[in-house]
Structure 1
């Protein structure tokens, strides 16, 4: 007699669950392998001189631990050490390893800071520079400190296992607060996922025990496997986790950081929007901002698909020269409104994570300059933001002085962190005369498309460069195939942030007119399959906007559930669409012949024009 279809489905699901637990355990075990262990024979009676101890509430690190940790930090040339207590509960160990790859954490300067929630040992000068608070601290505040420490010591922070330390228990409310601090608004989704996984295993044990037993064994042994035998876990782990999840559901805790900040900002935004959005735009122009031709056609009209701020934005294309630009463009007040809480403020941490994921792009930029310049004396990065690129490039050019130009306070933060050697606040064309002829390299990386007058920015670069200096420009490529096929859902359109889209030919022509000689160029390869993924995400957001935006009404439970459902549905749609688009690209000979991708990069040498 064949089993019921539901039972067959349940059996397949729990077997898949067992496989997932095993594979995830292997992944986390590899991460755990990078965790060093302190020697236990060190002696000490007080906190070592020159170091500050920042501990969680209820934690008093052993003097022997502190002595061993500072000695280890000195040997490893570290500025901060996160102490992982020897008896840290299995679930907290696993949570730590889900967030941190201990093999790469120290050497990856862009990785976000994290903590085991016990204690941090920080050099006193770093603690003063980073303006760290005094302890003891709640676990979620210790997480904020750990993130700040990693920003100020991006290559000098690491974790170490401290066998003598004993973890302090966290009640359900503290656990929930910490979870929300780590995952922010995604904490609820994590809770739902964990509860569903436990429920699936329980249902399997009741209805298909033979199939569920491997999943139960894998779940029980996972902590021991991950911790190389050092993290045994507790007997009856599944039952314990069910109780823990039930405790989290009943616990009271402050809202997630994003929710809290959104509620604080909403009244001011809604009051500002009572005046409408027409005042954020200048009058439409009737001629091309690049060549002056009156032959303009509408390329697309789009709302704000990222943050869902109100307004509609139009890109027009010149049929004479092909230039694409925002028309009508944002006024200075409009720029202030639509940039506010995007790269810093409300969405600042989210954007830092985006920039931190661009390390491969950063390496390509560094390699392009390295091929034409051995050791630049001074390098100016324009539109630097928090200077993630400068932080990475410094490793290849340790003797180079990196400086950044930015309108927002993010560049001041970068200087305070030490990511740039000097910060310049203001519009580049305004500050360039004060730095005439001082820089060997100027970089404009995804900057020109944001500017109101790109040609004036190129003039400013020529002003700041020394004769023979290098200018590197990287911008979205409006000639990319996906720019046509995906329409408003092509991510690099990024309305309303991007105001101009330069083609490779137009950019090189403008550079040559200003005395530059193009030395190198790089065009990203066409990747229609990858381009579809963010397009589906943008479409999902247009259908159901991202919740907790302070310029939108506070989301209801129904709206939040609808958003979750749409996002879940978007995953298989995105995967299928990506496969179809990739297959189409393989069959399309024009793609194989080198159709341009989403961006291009140009390196040019400034040869002072004759007569200058």
Structure 2
């Protein structure tokens, strides 16, 4: 285990304990507010992200993980990836070359490839990359540590990090590397749990996104913006994501009712556009009115 004596983001030595989880301290920088496990837990990435992580065995379910390969959940994930791609295409103004770091089973890669993008992915999990190859026919995936994988300079127009940046042992160095891989004017899309959210502040050590030893750093809009701008990125847009509660759940009598309604209605012409509109209203209601969104999403341009 490695103990940090200075904040990796701002260099301050003012790291103080926020709370303790499973005998490990989450500390926060008094100057920039970045939160992190300290000392940093040691773990085997390949062991953590084996097949059980994606299929949701009992041990993993205790940490809130679901079976992401359940057919109904796969359909929802692919629909969500289409929305992500729309955001990215609007910012970039065209299709191009996309790298998904921490690509998992390949949902975003499949979506982008089917839409006409040239795609590549990388993930530490051999199970995940095999799924991307075998089930989706994506050969351009690399298996290995994301902090050791290499790509040529200016090789991509877009890099995506969906719930990945919190796993990096050195997020500053990783953003520097990503900047090299991006072509001038390229887009970095990042989604991560928000430590400054209402849910995080209310739940403290019980917050669903506090995960030992997977999540090493905890960002907010403020700290994520600071990280990206320090490496030459310009933030274009910030969105809030609501994962567990919302207007659709309430209207359908809870998550299971919403799931059944979605599966019935998702093939109706115009339904996806309607869902996007409801989701935006949902985000506004919970994030702006109730302060309940606990995931932040940033879109940034290199240069």
How far residue 287 of structure 1 moved from its aligned partner, in angstroms, is 3.2
Residue 389 (structure 1) aligned with residue 99 (structure 2): no
* Counterpart contact for 1:439–1:469, Cα < 8 Å: yes
Helix, strand or coil at the partner of 1:330: coil
Cα distance in 2 between the residues matched to 1:449 and 1:442: 16
Aligned match of 1:314 = 25
User: Match for 2:84 among 360, 365, 375?
Assistant: 365
* Counterpart contact for 1:316–1:326, Cα < 8 Å: yes
Aligned match of 1:237 = none
Helix, strand or coil at the partner of 1:486: helix
Cα distance in 2 between the residues matched to 1:527 and 1:454: 27
How far residue 358 of structure 1 moved from its aligned partner, in angstroms, is 3.4
How big is each residue's C-alpha offset from its partner over 1:167-187, in whole Å with a ceiling of 9 and x where there is no partner? xxxxxxxxxxxxxxxxxxxxx
Unaligned runs of 5+ in 1: 1-281, 304-311, 531-588, 608-612
* Counterpart contact for 2:89–2:95, Cα < 8 Å: no
How far residue 506 of structure 1 moved from its aligned partner, in angstroms, is 1.9
Helix, strand or coil at the partner of 1:371: helix
Cα distance in 1 between the residues matched to 2:245 and 2:55: 33
How far residue 449 of structure 1 moved from its aligned partner, in angstroms, is 0.5
Larger radius of gyration: 1
* Counterpart contact for 2:172–2:227, Cα < 8 Å: yes
Residue 446 (structure 1) aligned with residue 163 (structure 2): yes
Aligned positions of 1:87-98 closer than 5 A: none
Cα distance in 1 between the residues matched to 2:136 and 2:289: 44
TM-score, reference length from structure 1: 0.38
Aligned positions of 1:167-186 closer than 5 A: none
User: Match for 2:141 among 410, 423, 427?
Assistant: 423
* Counterpart contact for 2:9–2:227, Cα < 8 Å: no
Cα distance in 2 between the residues matched to 1:345 and 1:526: 19
How far residue 424 of structure 1 moved from its aligned partner, in angstroms, is 1.6
Helix, strand or coil at the partner of 2:91: coil
Aligned positions of 1:2-151 closer than 5 A: none
Cα distance in 2 between the residues matched to 1:478 and 1:412: 33
Helix, strand or coil at the partner of 2:205: helix
Aligned positions of 1:203-352 closer than 5 A: 282-303=1-22, 312-333=23-44, 335-340=45-50, 342-343=52-53, 347=57, 350-352=67-69
Aligned match of 1:501 = 218
Cα distance in 1 between the residues matched to 2:173 and 2:140: 23
Aligned match of 2:299 = 603
Unaligned runs of 5+ in 2: 61-65, 248-284
* Counterpart contact for 1:450–1:500, Cα < 8 Å: yes
* Counterpart contact for 1:450–1:499, Cα < 8 Å: yes
Helix, strand or coil at the partner of 1:431: coil
Alignment size in residue pairs: 256
Aligned match of 1:233 = none
Aligned match of 2:117 = 400
Higher percent of residues as strand: 2
Aligned positions of 1:557-576 closer than 5 A: none
Structure-2 change in CA distance of 1:414 and 1:520 (3 Å): same
Structure-2 change in CA distance of 1:596 and 1:350 (3 Å): closer
How far residue 360 of structure 1 moved from its aligned partner, in angstroms, is 5.2
Helix, strand or coil at the partner of 2:209: helix
Helix, strand or coil at the partner of 2:238: strand
* Counterpart contact for 1:313–1:496, Cα < 8 Å: no
Structure-2 change in CA distance of 1:512 and 1:492 (3 Å): same
Structure-2 change in CA distance of 1:345 and 1:476 (3 Å): closer
Cα distance in 2 between the residues matched to 1:419 and 1:468: 29
Cα distance in 2 between the residues matched to 1:403 and 1:293: 37
Aligned match of 2:254 = none
How far residue 301 of structure 1 moved from its aligned partner, in angstroms, is 2.2
Structure-2 change in CA distance of 1:361 and 1:418 (3 Å): closer
- How well do the aligned residues superpose, as a CA RMSD in angstroms? 3.1
How far residue 388 of structure 1 moved from its aligned partner, in angstroms, is 1.5
Structure-2 change in CA distance of 1:377 and 1:324 (3 Å): same
Cα distance in 2 between the residues matched to 1:464 and 1:358: 26
* Counterpart contact for 1:293–1:320, Cα < 8 Å: yes
Helix, strand or coil at the partner of 1:479: coil
How big is each residue's C-alpha offset from its partner over 1:441-478, in whole Å with a ceiling of 9 and x where there is no partner? 11111100111111111112111111111111111111
Helix, strand or coil at the partner of 2:7: coil
Higher percent of residues as helix: 1
TM-score, reference length from structure 2: 0.73
Residue 412 (structure 1) aligned with residue 130 (structure 2): yes
